[in-house]
Structure 1
Amino acid sequence: MTQVITAPEALKQPVRRIRVAGVFLIALVAIVVLAGIHLTQGTSSVGAGDLIKLVFGQGTDNSVNVLVASRVPRLLAGILVGLALGVAGAGLQSLARNPLASPDTLGVNAGAYLAVVVVAALGIHLPVLPAGGISFAGGLAAAVLVLALSSGGASGPTRLILAGSAVAMALGGVITVLMLLFREETARTFFWSAGTLVQSDLDAVTQMAPVVAVGIIGVMLLAGKLDILTLGDDTASVLGVHVRRVRVITTLLTVLLSAAAVTVTGPVGFVGLVAPVLVRLIAPLIPGLLRHRVLLPLSGLAGVLVVLLSDVGLRAVFGAQAGIEIPTGIMTMLVGAAVLVWLARRYRDSGASRTPGGASSGIRTRRRFLVVTVVLLLLVVGAAIGAMLAGDAFLRTGDIVNWANGRSGRAITYVLDQRFPRVLAALLAGAALAIAGTAVQAVCRNPLAEPGILGITGGAGVGAVATLIILPSASIWLLSGVAAAAALATFALVYVVSWRGGLSSDRLVLIGVGVSSAATAVITLMIVGTDPWNLSLAMTWLSGSTYGRTLPQVAPIAIALLVLTPLIAHHRRELDLLALDDDVPRILGVRLERTRLLMLLCAALMTAAAVSAIGVVGFVGLVAPHAARALVGGSHSRILPISALLGAILVSVSDSLGRTLLAPAQIPAGLLCALIGAPYFVYLLWRTRVPVSR
C-alpha cells in the first residue's frame, strides 16, 4: 500500500529542490510530447509531416488554416482547463482537508453550468467574460451550499460526496427541465454539457486566460497559509492565520478557476479530483512535494496531462471524428470514477451520516401506524385516479367508471387505455424503489443511502440502454433480463470492491457513487455514439419516463414485487438488527453477511425491474424510507409498507405533473422526482450536519 504522509509530516519535510525540479521537468516534457501528438490528430489530412514542415517554414496555407482554426484552439483550451481545474482541485482538497473534494464533488461545475443554461434559456447571449461571471456566481452558490451541508468537508468523505451528489442531481434536474422548455435557446449549451474541447476560435481561451492566471496567482499567494491550515483551524489561529478569511478567499479563487474552465469547455468531469491525487501518489518519493507552493502548480500540470491524455486517447481509440462527437469530459469522468473508487477503499467516514436507520425515529403507537396507513392508502387511490384523469386531455371520474364497465366512447377508451399502463407502472415502480431503498439503508446503516447512490440504478440503466441501442425492437422480457443482469453485475462489483476485511457502509456508499459516475459516463458514451433514432429511446430511459408503456412492460415489476416483497418482509426482524450494529445481530444468531447479501440482492433485482418499467428514477429509495421512518418509527414491519405507499405516491404524482404541466409536451417523471427528492435530501443533510469549531 502507498505510504500516507500526514499534514504535520509534510510540513517537516524539506523541499528537495533538485528532485522537485526534476518532477516539474518530466511533467513539462510529457505535456510537450502530448501536445505534439494532439496537434497531429484531427479530421483533416494534415499530419505530423505537415507540422514538421511548418516548423521549418515550408508548410502550406491549408496546414496553417487547420492549425489556427481548429487544432491550436483545442490544444490551448485543454491546457487552460487542465491548469485551472488541477489547481482548483488541490485548493479545494486543502480547504476541506478531504482528498475527495473537487469542483465536481462540491457541485461547483453543476452550479456554474446551471447559471449558463439559465442565461441561455432567457435568450440572453453574453460575451465570454460576462458569461464567466455568471458561471462564477452559480458555482460559488453551489460550493457554499455543499460545504455547509458537509460541515466544511471536515466531517468526512461520505457526507461530502452525498451532499455534492444531491446538489448536483437537483441542479441537473433543473438544467434538463430548462432544456426541455427552451429547446432552441439552450441548444448551443447541450453539446458541451459533458465537457468538450471543440473550439471554433481563440476568443474564449484568450479572454479566460487572464482570469485563470489571476486565480492561480491568488491561490499561490496563499500557499504558506494553506500549509499551516492543514494542521487544523485551532493550530492555524494560534500561529496567526486568519482562518475564516483564508477559507473565504480560497473558496472564491478556486470557484473562479472552475467557472473559467466551465465557460471555455463546459464541465469537464473529475480533473480536479484526479490531478492532485496523482501528485499525492508520488509525494512519498519526493520530500516536500505536499508543500502548497509545489503542490498547487504541479497539480495544475497534472491536470493538463489528464485532459490532453484523455483527448488524445479518445481520438486514438474512437477515431478523429469522435473528437468532435464525443465530449472529452466523458473520458475524464471514467478516469475520475476509477480514482474515486480507489480513494474510497483507503478512506473511511466516521461522520454523522453513519447513523442507524431508526436511531432518531422514536417509537410510534400502533394507532398512529394504522392512521398513517389508511391516509396513505387513500392518497394512493387519489393519486391513481388523478393520474387517470390528468394529462393533455382532462377527463371526469364518470369517464373512468364508463371505461371500467366497457361503456366509454372510442376517444375516451383510447386515452384511458394509454394512461392505465403508465399509471400502474408509476405506482409499482415507486413502491419497488422505496422497498429497495429501505433494505439498502438498513444494510448500510446509513439513512442517506439508496439504490441509485450505490450504483445499482446506473448499472441497470447501462444494460437497458445498451439493449435499446443494439436491439431497438427488443422485447420487454429481454430488456428486463439484461437490465437485471447489469444491475446484479454492478452490485457484485460494488460489493466485492467494498469488501476489505468486512463490509464498511462508508466504503459501500463511496464506491457506489464512483461506479454510478462511471455508469453515467458509459451511458453518455453509448448515446453520443449511436444514431438519433436510438438517442430518443435512450434519453427516455435515462430521464425516467412512463411514456408509451404497455401492460406487458409492467409485468416484470409486478412479478418482482410479488416475489421479493414477502422475502424482504420475512427478514424484517433481521433488518431491525442490522440497522443497529454488527455485534447485536451476531450475538442473536443472525448470519450477518448472508443476510446482507440476500437483502442487497433483492434490492438490486427490484431496482432492475423498476428501471425496466420506467427507466432511471433517483431519490425515491432515499426519500420514501426516511419519511416512513419519521412517520411510523424504526420498526421495519411498519417502515416497509409505509415506504412502499410513499414511493408509489411520489412517482405517481411526479408522472402526473410531468404529463400535465406542459401538455402536450411532457416532463419525465424521473426529473420531477429528482427536483422533489434532492431538496429533501439537502434538508436531511443540513439537519444532521455537525458544526465544526472555528
Structure 2
Amino acid sequence: MSLTAQPTVPPAGVPADGRRGGPVGLVLLVAGLLAAIVVLAAIDVVQGTATVGVTELWAWLSGSADAQAAAVIVDSRLPRVAAGVLVGVALGAAGCVLQSISRNILASPDTLAVNAGAFLALTFAATVGIPAVVFGDLAIAFIGGLAAAAVVFALAGTDYGTVRLVLAGTVVAMVLRSVATTLIILNPMESQGLQAWEAGMLGQNGFDAVTLMVPLVVAGMLVLVLFARRLDVMALGDDAARTVGVPVRTTQIQVLLTAVALSAAAVTLTGPIGFVGLAAPALVRLLAPRIRGLHRHAALIGVSGLAGVVVVLAADVAVRAIFGAQRAVEVPTGVVTSLLGAVVLVWFAFRLRATRLDDAGNALDVRGVGVRHPGGLVALLVVALLGLAVGAVLIGDRMFLLGDVANWLSGQAGPVVTSVMGARVPRVVAAILAGIALAVAGTIIQGVSRNPLADPAIIGVSGGASVGAVLVVTFVPLAGFWVLVGAAGVGALIAAVIVFGLAARGGFATDRLVLVGVGVSFAAEAIVRLLIVTTDPWSASKALVWLSGSTYGRTYEHLVPLMIGCAVLVPAAMIGYRRLDLLSVDEDTPRVLGVRPAHARFALLGCAVLLTAVAVAAIGLVAFVGLVAPHAARALVGRRHRWVIPTAALLGACLLVLADTLGRTIAAPTQLSASLLTALVGAPYFFYLLHRSRRPVR
C-alpha cells in the first residue's frame, strides 16, 4: 500500500514566512485555546437537567458543595467533559497526521472512512453478541477503521488529488453506513441505542471508560510527537526525505496505524463524532503561515488536538443552549460537528485549485464507441426488464407459478395469491419506475455538469429530498403522500440550488462541484439523523426504514406521483437530448450553435431534480443507480444521449428490480433494503472507475 501523493495544497510542514508573526504567537495561540477549553468546560458542567449552576460549581471547586451537587458534577458532568477533551485531542491529532501523510488538507477519519469502518465493526459486534468489553471493543473498532482506511488509500492510488481521496472515502463510508444501518434494522433489540450513538454522544456513566482510554490516547500522542521530525522532512517531498535517511513508506504506515488507533479509541468511547478530525487541523493549518513555529509537527499535532477539544466542547455547549437541557439529552453532539464539517468542506471547495472534467487527472468517464444497432440493444433490454419483472412477481418468501399470475390477472386467484400479489406487484412497479427516474436523473446531471462521478445521492440532491420527506414523516405523520412528494421536491430543489449555484461560480469545475455536493450530502445526513434521534421511537423507526431505501409497503397510491413524473419528465429529457449532447462537450459549443447554456442547463436540471424527488418520496434513499446506469449506457451505446437516456433508464430499472428481488428473498422472511443491494453492486463499479483512472507510478 502506497500513501505517497503529490500535494494538492501547500503542506503545513513547509517552513512559514519568518517575517510573519513571532515566537510569542504560538504561545498566545496555545494559551487562547486552553482558555477557551476552560471556559467551555465550565459552561458544559453547569448545563444539564439537574440544577447545578456556577455557584454550585464554585462550591465544588472550593470543597464546600453539598453531596447532591457534588454527585451530579463528579458522576455525570465531569465525565462528559473529560470524554469531550479526550475525543477532541484524539481526533484533532489523528486528522492532522492523516492530512500530512496524504498531503491532502481534506483527509480526516471521516473522509478516509475510518470512523465508518470502526462503527460498522462495533455494530456487527453488538448485533452478533460479542461481549461489550471496552478493550475488546477498541480492538474491533481498530480493525474496522484500519480496513476501511486501507481500502480508501488503495482506491485513491499513488497520484490522487483532493477530489479522488474524498470521493473514495465518501463512497466507502456510504457503503459501510448502509451495511450498519441494515444491521440495526434487522436487529432492533440487539442494536438498541446505536442510532443515537452512531452520531456521537458524549454522555458517560462515570469515569470508567474515560480512564481506560486515557493511557491509549496519551501513548498515541507521544508516538505522533516522536514522528514529528520525520513528518517535517517528508513535507518537503519523498525524494528529499529519502536522501536524509527517512524511511517514507514505513513512517507513513506507522503514523497511519497510530492515527487509526486514536480514531478507534474516540469511536469506542463516544461513537463517531463527525468531522472534528477535518475541521480542527484544517483550520489550524491556515494559521501556520502566520505563526512562527506552528508549521512544525511537534507544535502542529498538539495545537490540532487542542483545537479539536474546542470544536467538540463548543458543539456540546451549542446543543444544550439551542435545544435546552432536557431535550439536549437526546441530541448527539456529532450532529453539530458534522454540520460544521460540511460547511468547512464547502468552504475549502472554493479555496482549493479546482479542475474540470477534461483535465487529464479527472478523465474518469467510461465512453464506449457504441454497438452497431443501438435500437436492437434497447429492445433486448426491454425483454430483459420484462423477464426480471416477471421473476420478481413470482419469487419471494412465497413462490408462485405463471398460472397463478394468470389467475390473478383474470380475477380467479385464491385469497392467498390475491393478497401476496396485491403487495408484491406494486413493489415491482415501484422499483421499475424509481430505477428509470434515478437513472435518467443521473444521466442528465452527469451530462449537464460534465462530471462523470455526479450522482443524485453523491452530490446531495437525494439528501435534500430526504430531509424534506423525513420532516413530513416526523412532524406530520398523517399527511397525505402528495404532501410527502411536495416536501421531497422542495428539499431536492433547495439542495440543487445550493450545489449547482455554488459550483456555477467556478464554471462547474469537477472538483468543486463534487466537494460542494458531498458537503451538502453530509449536512443533509446530519439533519436527518438529528430528526431521527429527537422524535418518538415510532416516527424514528419509520424514518430510518424509509431512509434505508425500500419498496416495502408501497401501494398504487404511492406510485401515482412517480408515474406522472416518469411519464412527463423522461420524455422531456428525451426531447432535450440534443442540448444535453452539446452541454456535455463544453461551454462554447452550445453558444456557437445558438443554444443558451444557462437556459438549457436550468430546464434539464429541473427535470433531474424532480425525478430525484419523486423517486426518493416513493422508495426512499437509494444510491448508485444514477451513477452506474449512465456509465454502463455510454459504454454500450456511445455518448449520444438519444440512445444513452433510454438505455440508462432500462438499465436502472433492471438494477433496482434485481436489487429489490434479492433483498426480499435471500434472507426471507427478513427483508434487506434495496439501497444496500444497489450499494453492493454500484460501489464496486464506482471503485473500478477510480481504479482505472489511476496514474502509474513513474
Which bracket does the TM-score occupy, shorter chain normalised?
Answer: over 0.9
Q: Give, in angstroms, the shift of residue 390 of structure 1.
A: 2.5
Say which SS state the counterpart of residue 320 (structure 1) adopts: helix
**Residue of structure 2 equivalent to 1:60:** 66
Q: Judging changes above 3 Å, is the alpha-carbon distance between structure 1 residues 583 and 148 closer, same or farther for their aligned structure 2 residues? A: farther
- The answer to whether the aligner puts 1:640 opposite 2:642 as a matched pair is no
Q: Give, in angstroms, the shift of residue 6 of structure 1.
A: 6.0
Q: Which amino acid aligns with 1:114?
A: L
User: Contact between 1:356 and 1:579, CA under 8 Å: does it hold in 2?
Assistant: no
**Structure 2 runs not aligned, ≥5 long:** 1-8
Q: Give, in angstroms, the shift of residue 296 of structure 1.
A: 1.0
Q: Give, in angstroms, the shift of residue 675 of structure 1.
A: 2.3
**Residue of structure 2 equivalent to 1:462:** 467
Of the structure 1 ranges 306-315 and 217-226, higher mean CA displacement relative to structure 2 is found in 217-226
Q: Percent identity?
A: 50
Q: Judging changes above 3 Å, is the alpha-carbon distance between structure 1 residues 179 and 526 closer, same or farther for their aligned structure 2 residues? A: closer
Q: Distance in 1 between matches of 2:460 and 2:367?
A: 27
**Residue of structure 1 equivalent to 2:95:** 89
Q: Judging changes above 3 Å, is the alpha-carbon distance between structure 1 residues 683 and 82 closer, same or farther for their aligned structure 2 residues? A: same
Q: Give, in angstroms, the shift of residue 407 of structure 1.
A: 1.5
Q: Give, in angstroms, the shift of residue 533 of structure 1.
A: 2.5
| 1:383-441 deviations in Å (ceiling 9; x for gaps) | 21122122332222111111111221222222212222211111100111001111111
Q: Distance in 2 between matches of 1:185 and 1:464?
A: 28
**Residue of structure 1 equivalent to 2:665:** 660
1:384-463 to structure 2, matched below 5 A, reads 384-463=389-468
Q: Distance in 1 between matches of 2:666 and 2:54?
A: 55
**Residue of structure 1 equivalent to 2:595:** 590
Q: Give, in angstroms, the shift of residue 352 of structure 1.
A: 5.6
**Residue of structure 2 equivalent to 1:610:** 615
User: Contact between 1:377 and 1:645, CA under 8 Å: does it hold in 2?
Assistant: yes
User: Contact between 1:344 and 1:511, CA under 8 Å: does it hold in 2?
Assistant: yes
Q: Give, in angstroms, the shift of residue 660 of structure 1.
A: 2.1
**Residue of structure 1 equivalent to 2:51:** 45
User: Contact between 2:16 and 2:289, CA under 8 Å: does it hold in 1?
Assistant: no
**Residue of structure 1 equivalent to 2:3:** none
Q: Distance in 2 between matches of 1:377 and 1:269?
A: 44
Say which SS state the counterpart of residue 456 (structure 2) adopts: coil
Q: Judging changes above 3 Å, is the alpha-carbon distance between structure 1 residues 165 and 375 closer, same or farther for their aligned structure 2 residues? A: same
- The answer to whether the aligner puts 1:489 opposite 2:497 as a matched pair is no
Q: Judging changes above 3 Å, is the alpha-carbon distance between structure 1 residues 352 and 199 closer, same or farther for their aligned structure 2 residues? A: farther
Q: Judging changes above 3 Å, is the alpha-carbon distance between structure 1 residues 577 and 239 closer, same or farther for their aligned structure 2 residues? A: farther
Q: Give, in angstroms, the shift of residue 467 of structure 1.
A: 1.3
Q: Distance in 2 between matches of 1:348 and 1:561?
A: 38
| 1:293-321 deviations in Å (ceiling 9; x for gaps) | 22111110000000000001101110122
Q: Distance in 2 between matches of 1:590 and 1:346?
A: 32
Q: Which amino acid aligns with 2:525?
A: T
User: Contact between 1:159 and 1:353, CA under 8 Å: does it hold in 2?
Assistant: no
Q: Give, in angstroms, the shift of residue 634 of structure 1.
A: 2.4
Q: Distance in 2 between matches of 1:673 and 1:193?
A: 22
Among 553, 561, 566, which residue is 1:556 paired with? 561
Q: Distance in 2 between matches of 1:23 and 1:114?
A: 37
| 1:564-615 deviations in Å (ceiling 9; x for gaps) | 1122222223323333333444444432233223222211111001011111
User: Contact between 1:120 and 1:186, CA under 8 Å: does it hold in 2?
Assistant: yes
Q: Which amino acid aligns with 1:213?
A: V
User: Contact between 1:330 and 1:521, CA under 8 Å: does it hold in 2?
Assistant: yes
Q: Give, in angstroms, the shift of residue 471 of structure 1.
A: 1.5
Q: Which amino acid aligns with 1:132?
A: L
Q: Judging changes above 3 Å, is the alpha-carbon distance between structure 1 residues 577 and 380 closer, same or farther for their aligned structure 2 residues? A: same
Q: Which amino acid aligns with 2:74?
A: V
Q: Give, in angstroms, the shift of residue 560 of structure 1.
A: 1.3
Q: Distance in 2 between matches of 1:334 and 1:257?
A: 22
Q: Which amino acid aligns with 1:101?
A: A
- The answer to whether the aligner puts 1:355 opposite 2:360 as a matched pair is no
User: Contact between 2:548 and 2:620, CA under 8 Å: does it hold in 1?
Assistant: yes
- The answer to whether the aligner puts 1:78 opposite 2:84 as a matched pair is yes
Say which SS state the counterpart of residue 325 (structure 2) adopts: coil
Q: Distance in 2 between matches of 1:115 and 1:690?
A: 32
Q: Give, in angstroms, the shift of residue 379 of structure 1.
A: 2.0
Q: Distance in 2 between matches of 1:537 and 1:6?
A: 46
Q: Judging changes above 3 Å, is the alpha-carbon distance between structure 1 residues 652 and 5 closer, same or farther for their aligned structure 2 residues? A: closer
Q: Distance in 2 between matches of 1:208 and 1:629?
A: 51
**Residue of structure 2 equivalent to 1:25:** 31
Of the structure 1 ranges 532-541 and 602-611, higher mean CA displacement relative to structure 2 is found in 532-541
Q: Distance in 1 between matches of 2:214 and 2:119?
A: 19
- The answer to whether the aligner puts 1:263 opposite 2:268 as a matched pair is yes
Q: Distance in 2 between matches of 1:554 and 1:309?
A: 45
**Residue of structure 1 equivalent to 2:604:** 599
Q: Give, in angstroms, the shift of residue 33 of structure 1.
A: 0.6
Say which SS state the counterpart of residue 115 (structure 1) adopts: helix
Q: Give, in angstroms, the shift of residue 289 of structure 1.
A: 2.1
Q: Judging changes above 3 Å, is the alpha-carbon distance between structure 1 residues 296 and 503 closer, same or farther for their aligned structure 2 residues? A: same
**Residue of structure 2 equivalent to 1:143:** 149
Q: Distance in 1 between matches of 2:109 and 2:60?
A: 39
Q: Which amino acid aligns with 1:488?
A: L
Among 302, 306, 315, which residue is 2:311 paired with? 306
Q: Distance in 1 between matches of 2:334 and 2:58?
A: 30
1:42-441 to structure 2, matched below 5 A, reads 42-151=48-157, 155-187=160-192, 189-350=194-355, 354-355=362-363, 357=365, 360-367=366-373, 369-441=374-446
Q: Distance in 2 between matches of 1:651 and 1:175?
A: 21
User: Contact between 1:356 and 1:445, CA under 8 Å: does it hold in 2?
Assistant: no
User: Contact between 2:224 and 2:258, CA under 8 Å: does it hold in 1?
Assistant: yes
Q: Give, in angstroms, the shift of residue 8 of structure 1.
A: 7.5
Q: Judging changes above 3 Å, is the alpha-carbon distance between structure 1 residues 24 and 625 closer, same or farther for their aligned structure 2 residues? A: same
User: Contact between 2:11 and 2:103, CA under 8 Å: does it hold in 1?
Assistant: no
Q: Judging changes above 3 Å, is the alpha-carbon distance between structure 1 residues 180 and 533 closer, same or farther for their aligned structure 2 residues? A: closer
Task: Calculate the TM-score normalised by the size of structure 1.
Answer: 0.95
Q: Judging changes above 3 Å, is the alpha-carbon distance between structure 1 residues 316 and 109 closer, same or farther for their aligned structure 2 residues? A: same
User: Contact between 1:356 and 1:580, CA under 8 Å: does it hold in 2?
Assistant: no
Q: Distance in 1 between matches of 2:93 and 2:629?
A: 40
| 1:359-394 deviations in Å (ceiling 9; x for gaps) | x52312333x34432332222112211221223322
Task: State the aligned residue count.
Answer: 686
Of the structure 1 ranges 244-253 and 514-523, higher mean CA displacement relative to structure 2 is found in 244-253
**Structure 1 runs not aligned, ≥5 long:** none
Say which SS state the counterpart of residue 186 (structure 1) adopts: coil
Q: Which amino acid aligns with 2:249?
A: R
Q: Give, in angstroms, the shift of residue 681 of structure 1.
A: 1.5
Say which SS state the counterpart of residue 173 (structure 1) adopts: helix
Q: Give, in angstroms, the shift of residue 7 of structure 1.
A: 5.2
Q: Judging changes above 3 Å, is the alpha-carbon distance between structure 1 residues 629 and 488 closer, same or farther for their aligned structure 2 residues? A: same
Task: Calculate the TM-score normalised by the size of structure 2.
Answer: 0.94
Q: Judging changes above 3 Å, is the alpha-carbon distance between structure 1 residues 570 and 672 closer, same or farther for their aligned structure 2 residues? A: same
Q: Which amino acid aligns with 1:25?
A: A
Q: Which amino acid aligns with 2:271?
A: G
Q: Which amino acid aligns with 2:363?
A: T
**Residue of structure 2 equivalent to 1:566:** 571
Q: Distance in 2 between matches of 1:530 and 1:186?
A: 18
Among 531, 535, 541, which residue is 2:540 paired with? 535
Q: Distance in 2 between matches of 1:586 and 1:690?
A: 34
Among 611, 624, 633, which residue is 2:629 paired with? 624
Say which SS state the counterpart of residue 564 (structure 1) adopts: helix
User: Contact between 2:23 and 2:292, CA under 8 Å: does it hold in 1?
Assistant: no
Of the structure 1 ranges 394-403 and 431-440, higher mean CA displacement relative to structure 2 is found in 394-403
User: Contact between 1:355 and 1:445, CA under 8 Å: does it hold in 2?
Assistant: no
